[in-house]
Chains A and B, each alone.
Chain A
């Protein structure tokens, strides 16, 4: 780990300024991802601005009938919140499907969204990786395991975003509110927050340097049922092989792309009266994978059909 300086932010705007003005600075919240990456020197910030104690840890009703979730609220508290459990069960289920109890106690809402994408080769610093060293190549492509993106992958990167929470938020049409370095406030849909890898996989979100997520806003719960499903190699504490969230007529997938994947084709098919299986097939027609990942296409198709069906019966 490289030496770094640390400050505990007491003022949000000052924190934003501190990070925006220092190219080596990073926000620190729960640290459940950043600290691991620092130990491996995959991330090597020179300065950390701890935003974990800024007053963004609460939850409040919005005028529209939704919820505004503070960016610093822990995953554990968010999942357990009575209003979330009652009105957004897909979100509670998604959060509880992720990580472990210990990690959820530390990890925050904003930090969860901003966790780095997952890939064995991103973590193995002896290997080329376009995220760590742009231009060095993608070692995962052609590698021996079947993890990796089946939507929107590029020659530069096949890593996937494996947040469970973000998949549910995408299905719920949630937005993030940010504080920008110029003192403004910006609202971005969660489904638009993350970027596809294209030629610059090292850029994972559309946030500007220093831009701080202060809240996630959930619109009122959609009409219709909600359901969440995650497939994993073991029963807990494993990254998903595939995730599907359904909220009313909206459908999102996880662990299939560089970002939480809104299944727009499936939604359109459902709106047109398609069956769950037909809707799932409609989305998967756009999937693309090499031989080692083709099994994922079948897996996601089956999981999506079953989860849409479950949401329907949960109505």
Chain B
């Protein structure tokens, strides 16, 4: 097995001779996207005109469907089928896994009369047009036998239990040390239920050819979608061809398949014609996953000099009864600050709400909103600068596991950020700085997010014209995956970017785990790199073994690849010439990557520091951003432009987290109040002012052969806490209930007599 030591050797990517690694090159698919010609799933042109399916969803949170009257819907113009649990095709039971290696189990739609959450699909209508399908869907009349439902999280803490297979982590003697600490903080923070609000709703176009189904869908994990559909339909996964080439935002919400995938495939089979199905904007809120609310209690005990002696982060969160998911909001805190006595853990309330699941840095995003404010509160109590407090608690080794860090530049992120942001302008006494009716303040927070590598493969071929094509069952959810795969391939092969093609999002291609958890670039990229290295070996062999090549006879160890030319010192030819002559059908090889055997011997994370300046309107309590800046250490950066776009995108979600994003559960109905993007308030352009970020030079040689890490989640981790701390610095009002909307801020101002 590989060891991290094997990755320390220089290689084409780390040497970066052409300089394309790290360069802010334009997005590979950018022109297609901005011109509206990138075919997203719903845009896919099927072999024949598709019928259109529309979902009918439940309007109660729990109970049974007692009757479904489909007569009017079936008689409506253009209607081709109407399904409910009474007549839907048989599917494998939920959770079934006929093939134990399937990455996802069966996920049937319309499987029974049970209603488990508001917005669950309970019927399905297919018609010749979208308009007819939607009109007919409205004619399906459903009756229910409702049952009592638990939907009020804050009123249900008595039902909280340990998540499955999980124990609290105790290190040292937290209660003793906390009780003895001269300075303590004990506060509870609340992060509300949030929705992903991807621009592109879930959508699938499906058609069959014999026993094989082709689906164009919008999903972050190619294999997960392929396997789920195969398991649900009880067919071999080789009979499912899944494509997901362009994805209009995932944010974790498209890590799993939904009913559009299953029902389009079933209906296409039943009707013998292509069928396409998309969720409506309203259906996305309940029918797909959300981030659950989290209540977090933080207790800190410190010496007067700021050294933490006791440290506890405990999170209570919720999930659906039938779909276990834990928002691991305390996990990040296990690796962040030194403290000898520690307690971290989670509790889970199972409720009758739609399914909770991963969303934009699951764990860190809500979790850091607690500890990173508690540290601010502790700093003030101790009379220390918040950065200094963090530096005094900087660990030498991982504070929980005792393992060495692969590399840790958190302190540099904070100090470099402070300098560039102008942290010295901050008045440590809150409520002192005014600009007309605006109270102005600054805050900071640390960022941390784990890094890991998953197994992946990639295939690369070179054709007789010298074009190099990378193929991988990977996805690009808008992050820049296409682009960085092209850069890695170009640099590995020593060819210009214009000579590289990237084809991803296809289940026929060598598998990669997809996009999520900021493992995508490192995982898919490392496999692409390994494939490229294998192609170099194959082409070297081809050249030195070909009597017609100037490289004939070697020595192979001196072969170089640069500018599309393969050479041994002054003997050279173009790759195109070599392939056209010696392998006119092209050369195709694959490569793979897997975690190193000793990868877990290191504590490996990405880090950052957020700085925010806000104005708080003294009259209205409105909070507006004035400036936001972040410094991040995330391994070697592959593309300055896409990485910065991704990390500042995360920071913008942090603005949403701190100021606007929340969906209220109406306990009378078990449903979410906001069901469109006018009511669910994600930040808009006008909310974002003077936003910038930078990356520290870094290469983590314990991470993978290229020393890269991910930036997908890091930008949001801690961002909202920096804003909350800035609100406190501006006003002296400490809010612990996110988001910090004008009503809450104003109540705080008024309580202070302002």
Contact = CB atoms under 8 A, between A and B. Distances in A.
A3 B135 contact: yes
A231 B622 CA distance: 7
A127 B671 CA distance: 10
A134 to B, nearest CB: 20
Interface in B110-127: 118
- Interface residues on chain B, size class: 35 or more
A299 B671 CA distance: 28
B685 A231 contact: no
Nearest to A124: B675
B contact face: mostly helix, strand, loop, or mixed: loop
Given A143-B673, A144-B664, A298-B750, A236 B687 contact: yes
A127 B135 CA distance: 19
A126 B743 CA distance: 28
A237 B684 contact: yes
Contacts of A306: 437, 619
Interface of A: 1-3, 40-41, 120, 123-124, 126-127, 139, 142-146, 231-239, 241-242, 295-296, 298-299, 302-303, 305-306
29 contacts: A3-B77, A40-B282, A120-B673, A124-B671, A124-B675, A126-B118, A139-B668, A139-B669, A143-B666, A144-B673, A146-B743, A231-B742, A234-B659, A234-B683, A235-B686, A235-B687, A236-B687, A237-B678, A239-B678, A295-B743, A295-B747, A296-B743, A298-B746, A299-B621, A299-B743, A302-B619, A302-B620, A303-B619, A305-B619
B173 interface: no
Interface string B432-456: 0000010000000000000000000
Contact of B665 (A144, A295, A298): A144
A250 B568 CA distance: 86
A64 B683 CA distance: 45
Interface of B: 59, 77, 118, 131, 134-135, 138, 282, 437, 619-622, 624, 659-660, 664-669, 671, 673-676, 678-679, 681, 683-687, 741-743, 746-747, 750
Contacts of B681: 233-234, 238
A235 B684 contact: yes
Given A126-B59, A303-B619, A234 B660 contact: yes
A121 B320 CA distance: 24
Contacts of A40: 282
A237 B746 CA distance: 21
B673 A1 contact: no
A142 B620 contact: no
A303 B77 CA distance: 53
Contact of A303 (B620, B743, B747): B620
A120 B684 contact: no
A contact face: mostly helix, strand, loop, or mixed: loop
Contacts of B622: 231-232
A235 B668 CA distance: 31
Given A124-B671, A124-B675, A145-B664, 9 more contacts: A1-B134, A3-B77, A3-B135, A126-B118, A143-B668, A235-B624, A237-B684, A295-B743, A306-B437
Nearest to A305: B619
Given A239-B678, A299-B742, A302-B620, A2 B135 contact: yes
Contacts of B620: 231, 242, 299, 302-303
Given A235-B687, A236-B687, A142 B674 contact: no
A234 B686 contact: yes
Given A1-B134, A231-B622, A144 B667 contact: yes
B78 to A, nearest CB: 11
Contacts of B747: 295
Given A123-B675, A303-B620, A233 B667 contact: no
A241 B673 contact: no
Contacts of A1: 131, 134-135
A94 to B, nearest CB: 16
A231 B618 CA distance: 12
A3 B77 CA distance: 10
Given A234-B687, A237-B678, A144 B666 contact: yes
A142 B668 contact: yes
B669 A233 contact: no
Contacts of B624: 235
Contacts of B667: 144
Contacts of A233: 659-660, 681, 741-742
A296 B742 CA distance: 10
A295 to B, nearest CB: 4
A61 B282 CA distance: 45
A1 B165 CA distance: 48
B8 to A, nearest CB: 48
Ranked 9 nearest A-B pairs via Cβ: A236-B686, A235-B686, A126-B59, A144-B664, A231-B620, A295-B743, A306-B619, A235-B687, A302-B619
A144 B152 CA distance: 11
B200 to A, nearest CB: 18
